[in-house]
């Protein structure tokens, strides 16, 4: 909170284009994810150098609570990465994260 309130860019990407939100979602930090999503300057659909979104990282790692937070924020559930053309759903399925697969499939705005 100090960094955000101290005027630091809460959406600043690293050299791979990954933002603090990407890191928080990939590592299952739901409290940090919630904090960052509460900041209007943070893009919940930010893309890394490879087109990965915070939702794709959460799906790949099986972070259901974090994925749910992102979906509630209105992120695009069908965003494809630029490296493999994958959406978050195949990332979750390939790693056996059935709870995240079900969560993503339950969305009305998910392409078949």
Residue with tokens 């974090």: 66
Residue 35 belongs to some domain of the structure: yes
Domain that holds residue 16: 2-105
Predicted confidence band of residue 1 (pLDDT cuts 50, 70, 90): very low
Residue 111 belongs to some domain of the structure: no
DSSP H or E run through 3: helix 2-5
Q: CA-CA distance, 1 to 4, in Å (whole number)?
A: 5
Stated pTM of the model: 0.88
3-state helix, strand, coil in the chain (%, to 5): 45, 0, 55
Predicted confidence band of residue 87 (pLDDT cuts 50, 70, 90): very high
Q: CA-CA distance, 41 to 106, in Å (whole number)?
A: 28
Residue 47 belongs to some domain of the structure: yes
Residue 110 belongs to some domain of the structure: no
Specify the pLDDT at position 8: 74
Q: The domain spanning residue 8 has which CATH number?
A: 1.25.40.20
Find the mean pLDDT for residues 28-53. 95
Q: How many domains does the chain have?
A: 1
Asked if the model's pLDDT at residue 60 lies above 90, the reply is yes
């Amino acid at each position: 909170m100090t960094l955000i309130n101290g005027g630091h860019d809460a959406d600043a990407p690293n050299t791979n284009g990954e933002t603090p939100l990407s890191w928080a979602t990939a590592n299952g930090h739901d409290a940090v994810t919630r904090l960052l999503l509460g900041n209007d300057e943070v893009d919940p659909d930010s893309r890394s150098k490879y087109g990965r979104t915070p939702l794709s990282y959460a799906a790949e790692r099986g972070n259901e609570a974090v994925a749910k937070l992102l979906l509630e924020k209105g992120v695009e559930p069908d965003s494809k990465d630029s490296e493999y053309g994958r959406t978050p759903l195949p990332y979750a399925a390939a790693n056996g994260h059935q709870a995240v697969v079900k969560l993503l499939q339950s969305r009305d705005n998910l392409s078949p």
